[in-house]
Structure 1
Amino acid sequence: MRTTGRRHQGQKSAPYPFSRFALWRTGFAMKHLHLLIFLLLASLLQACANTSTERTGVDLKKASQLNAELALGYLRQNNLSQAKQKLDKALEQEKSNPLANNTYGLLNIRLDKPDLAEKYLKKSIELSPDNGAFINNLGIFLCGQNRYEEAEKTFFRAATNKFYKTPEYAYDNAGLCALDAAEYPKAEYFFQKALQMRANFAQARLHLAEATYKQLKFYEAAAHLAEYEKLAEPSPASLLWGIYIQQALGNKLGSEQLGLELLQRFPKSKQAATYLKIRSSMD
């Protein structure tokens, strides 16, 4: 398992609420993978806790959508009980609400109910077949279940969806899933595709450094990491990969300098703890 924890960064530290490690894998250690569209939707939430959803005089379709968006916000905050309450209400108001169904699928991932998760994720796609974000989320789920071939096809479907505005994320997810499956050349291919979609996609560049490192192409990995550093500030993940790469190149001084920077800038990170273990094993 990789020890990298990452946030999405487009140019310089673009906000992304969940790191790769924080994303929703149940009973299995999901790392990576991006729920960008849904997390962007969370920014739409306003202070509306007292909104009435009485059937009399209320547009149930709009009320269902509002409850689905509120549920998404609660899910983002890890408030599963409130998320479930809002989703139950949303689906009661409109069973065919695509967002409510997809979010209910995501909730069931968190609740370690993969059968229900898959059912609702797929139902949301049936209801809204051109929604690339829904397709992308199904790919995330399938990869988390180690169903790599299905996940790859699903990510490709999302990436090639003409209505999906951020295909680079689907390609990046496909690459991350290939990394999990130890299919490193394939991972490299998908990260390159992501960068073709958006040349300044910093996270894909960092992931590409990882994929090339895994193939023992250390000079290429160093070059990709240098490109990443032009796009984003150093992170615990990028510093740790820098340490690995410099060690592989035999640059002990460079490795130690990066290790010192990691400990100084991110002393409480998982990557710092990993580096300390590496350093102690070499003493």
Structure 2
Amino acid sequence: MPAARPTTPLLTGLLAAAALLAGCAAAPSRPADAETTQRRAQARLALASAYFENGQAQTALEEVERALEADPRSAPALGLRGLAQASLGLDGPAQASFEQALALAPQDADLMHNFGWFLCQQRRWDESQAQLERALAQPGYRGRPRSLLALGVCQARAQRWDAAERPLAQVLELEPSNGAAALALAEVLLRRGDAEQARAQLQRARWSAAQADAPALWLAARIEHRLGRHEAVQSLGRELRQRYPQAPQTLALDQGRFDD
């Protein structure tokens, strides 16, 4: 999740046609010139996407700006610019980029998803929910599990436990092996006070303490603590301390903050 970079979604959609050169005295562009410009824009955008997926947001932003110089009306490029700007903490420009992209491609569910996740990171819960639900309402949208997961995680962050449970359960109906959704649903069930169901959810997820990260180990320990299974808590605690001694979850364990 959810993040703050829920998972970095792959950009989809075709590039818009390259814009013609402006200028009263300029001769009309030849079709070959337009095709060359478009190919350059596509190449820049592909390079920018690769940099972004590799965690190099600043370089991605530089490349996507070059793509937009060639094709200013490329909705995918504007959307990627928004993602890169958000990763760099440029929240105002990022919102403007997402809005420009959606103005050009108002039915693009992937853009809606990315904008919705950005708004979730800003703790703008209602706006985030609206964007993610818009994405889910688009006919033929193939990213439904991803957007349902984002919606469930954002509702959980807003402590809307009942609202979070439904989309997370829907993810698991579509993708029973989705570990992120399984853990998020277990967290929601625990927060709602149903530790037995939370524990059952972890078991259905077939998670392994030996392979789990710190948040998953801490979640399991909190569930067992709520159920009064002290030996299980001690075992999970040893695993957490041994493998993640500096993790904030280990600090919470050492301080006994099981109900944070």
In 1, the alpha carbon distance for the partners of 2:234 and 2:2 equals 26
1:125-146 Cα deviation digits (max 9, x unpaired): 2333343221110101111222
In 1, the alpha carbon distance for the partners of 2:34 and 2:164 equals 53
Q: CA RMSD in A?
A: 2.6
Match of 1:36 in 2: 9
Match of 1:249 in 2: 227
In 1, the alpha carbon distance for the partners of 2:53 and 2:175 equals 26
**Number of residue equivalences:** 238
Match of 1:176 in 2: 153
TM-score by length of 1: 0.75
TM-score by length of 2: 0.81
Is the Cα contact below 8 Å between 1:68 and 1:86 reproduced in 2? yes
In 2, the alpha carbon distance for the partners of 1:104 and 1:257 equals 46
Shift in CA distance, 226/68, structure 1 to aligned 2, threshold 3 Å: same
SS in 2 for 1:37: coil
SS in 2 for 1:143: helix
SS in 2 for 1:158: helix
**Taking every aligned residue pair, what percent have the same amino acid on both sides?**
23
1:31-89 Cα deviation digits (max 9, x unpaired): xx2333249xxxxxxxxxxxxxxx97972112112212212222334434422321121
1:12-34 Cα deviation digits (max 9, x unpaired): xxxxxxx65662xxxxxxxxx23
Deviation at 1:196, TM superposition (A): 2.2
User: Which structure 1 residue ranges, 4+ long, deviate > 6 Å from structure 2?
Assistant: 55-58
More displaced, 58-67 or 163-172? Answer: 58-67
**1:123 maps onto 2:100 in alignment:** yes
SS in 2 for 1:244: helix
Deviation at 1:267, TM superposition (A): 4.0
Shift in CA distance, 235/79, structure 1 to aligned 2, threshold 3 Å: closer
Structure number with the bigger relative contact order (C-alpha 8 A, sep ≥ 6) is: 1
Unaligned ranges ≥5, structure 1:
1-18, 24-32, 40-54
Shift in CA distance, 217/262, structure 1 to aligned 2, threshold 3 Å: same
Is the Cα contact below 8 Å between 2:49 and 2:80 reproduced in 1? yes
Deviation at 1:111, TM superposition (A): 3.3
Is the Cα contact below 8 Å between 2:217 and 2:236 reproduced in 1? yes
